[in-house]
Amino acid sequence: MFKKQLDKHEQQLKGGLSEPNVSLPDRQAYAEATILAFTAEHSLPFSIVNDLIHLNQELAKDKQVLENLSMDRTTASYKMTHGLSKTFHEELIEDLKSSHFSLNIDECTSETNQRVVTVLVSYFSEKENKVVTKHLSSFKVVTVNSETLYNHLVALFDKYSLKWENLVSILMDSCAVMRGSKSGLETRIRSKKAPQLLDIDGDSCHHAHNAAKAFCHGFDNYIEGLLNDIYTDFKWSSDQKEVLRFICDALGIKATIPERYVPHRWLSVYDVCVDTSRLLDALILFYYPFLSGSDSSTYLPVVDSMYQKHSISESVKKEICKHQSKMSNKTKTMTQAGKDRKKRIVKKLFHTPSKTKVLLHIYTSILPMLKKYVLYFQSVTPLVHKLNDKQQDLLKDFLVCFIKPEILNTQALHKVNVSEENILPDNAVFLVRYIKENLQGPAASELVNKLKTAYLKCGQTLQRKMPVNNKLLRCASAIDPACRGHTITLQRLLQLPQLVAFALKDVQTHEYEKEARQYNTDKEIVNTEERIDIFWSSLREKYPVMTRVALALVSCFHGPQVESSFSIMGNVLNTERPNLHIETFSSIQTVKYELTASGKSGIRYFRRKNYLKDQVNPKLCKNMRSAYKSYVQEKEHKSGMSQTVPRKSACPSKKQTKEKAIEDADKARVEHTHKLMKKVEKRKSEMHELPSSSKKVLKKK
């Protein structure tokens, strides 16, 4: 009896002992594996893994909320639209009602073939103490014309009660729909709603792209054709990509796949030309096996020179030859289009290599001037005060390449006669000597003539498109603190009240003039490299009237920032999400631009050190909680429903329709089989009732 009790006691003691804890490194390994499994399951890029960890760490601080947190696909959509985005958008509208602002408008077709118009807004934010760019709206249009865009924009202003008198400028591309002198969108707005609209001309970055296109067209599409052929040749061929990578590694060249330039962004030609020049030796070795038999022996010294240039060993040469043999055998199975493409590439790389190299050198020598200008004004930092100076520098730097100096020194840039009569002698034109050193005879003369024609076309385009004589932009350059202390600066500052009169309401002009004179000679002001908007906000107390004018000017867009939103659009409105509403896309844009303007990530934006004590945004909490109600109301409004009209049954989904079709097909097949069986049974019964002689006759038949 005692022994049984002792055994029972020992078993209780053993059961009461807990299992040993899993070590911290093992728990960490499991956490890492969980995150990586989630990443693989949802096909997420590894670049967001670290952010995913930070998100989990932030949410884990409030375990009670995290345990009760749930959000399905539909909930996430309406909370984004009617919760988070709505809060940010309401704050934006409140700011715009009391601020001067500028717009950047453009239209683009999404991957789902929707024409989407995006409107960005730029203004000085008191909260951030700087000029910020935010997303005002994105909407879908069927027909893109000035009247349609004007009506949508008017409806947008009416919906949010925005004041037209607060609108400073609108930046758009220079197409007829946007900036047509008779019925363009800007003309309609200026004549009907906002006569005070500043004329800062169109998007000067587009002008630079157009000038680059004019320059390149002078060379008969020679380089562009080569770039397109090489890109197409590698696009769908994985084995060719591997061979090119091997050759690049053997030559000590960074292996990259040939890229494609964007036709509507012509300066992308420059980027592809630089990359092609870098890969040129590897491309020559790659395309060598596609030469004809006689040409192979002719151009063998070219291949040998490549081996010597890059100090290639005999063993590596043999490996390259093996790959070249494989490529040569591919010609038997190539399409005619592929064969023709290879011939064009081989001709430019082997038959006319000097011309190819010279043209690549011309492109990579001239286009950087235009590229530098575009990159400078694609910045989000306010730079409207630099527009006139940079445009004049660009035009002058380009004209110096081929126009006589005495012409440039005696005339204003916009008055220079860019024509053949003012071109320098051939040997003095930039790059002509290089052409003559690398080409001989008629080929050199022909290319020199094409170069001069390209210079003329590009120079004329720049002179015609760039607003170097724009009075507003000339005067706006005077607000640059680096220009203080000069008579010309004071003269231009004193002209600003006439051009920006809307910023001086209820203010006497002499007050502005007094401040301008003091500011121009103020020795206490230290010229720094800080942003122009931050510089002027620091002078608000000392020069309040001038600050109003300066901050209104620096809110103007100077580059196509709206194009970055179209890059985002490709990640959101794509063929994988064809049913995503444009309203949801617009909400996502609003949130992204708000975070960008604040300079914070989504995690940092909502981070609170003490999640129980630190204050929250009451409007945000209210909107997040009422998001479902707003979603239902919007859905009923769109469906044209009211309380007096009974709710219609929901339309079947795509999945339900497919299941119903399968069910109907099965049902029809069963009914068909049942009918056949009935006919067979009926036939059998009829046969049974017939006399034996008739049955024999029927069987014979």
- At residue 635, the pLDDT reads 84
Q: What is the structure's pLDDT at 538? A: 92
Q: pLDDT value at position 642? A: 47
Q: CB neighbours of 352 closer than 8 A, spacing ≥ 6?
A: none
Per-residue pLDDT, 464? 92
Is residue 621 within 8 Å of 86, Cβ to Cβ?
no
Q: What is the pTM of this model?
A: 0.83
Here the tokens at position 168 are: 């400073």
Question: With 0-12 CB in 10 A as exposed, 13-18 as middle and 19+ as buried, what is 220?
Answer: exposed
Looking at this protein, which amino acid is placed at residue 266? Answer: W
* pLDDT at residue number 645: 47
Pairing verdict, β 101-109 and 167-171: parallel
Question: What pLDDT is recorded for position 655?
Answer: 79
> Residue 252's CB: how many other CB atoms inside 10 A?
11
Q: What is the mean pLDDT of each run of 10 residues along the chain (701 residues)?
A: 58 60 91 94 91 91 90 90 94 94 87 84 93 92 89 94 93 85 88 91 89 92 94 90 94 91 87 94 94 88 91 92 89 88 94 95 96 91 92 95 91 90 93 94 94 95 92 94 92 92 82 93 84 92 93 90 70 60 88 92 90 90 92 81 51 79 86 83 73 56 49
Q: Give the pLDDT score at 36.
A: 93
The pLDDT, as a whole number, for residue 693 is 59
Asked if 287 contacts 323 with a C-beta cutoff of 8 angstroms, the reply is: no
Task: Quote the CA–CA distance of 550 and 547 in Å, as a whole number.
Answer: 5
> For residue 282, how many C-alpha atoms fall within 13 Å in the half-sphere facing its CB?
25
- Enter the DSSP assignment of 47: G
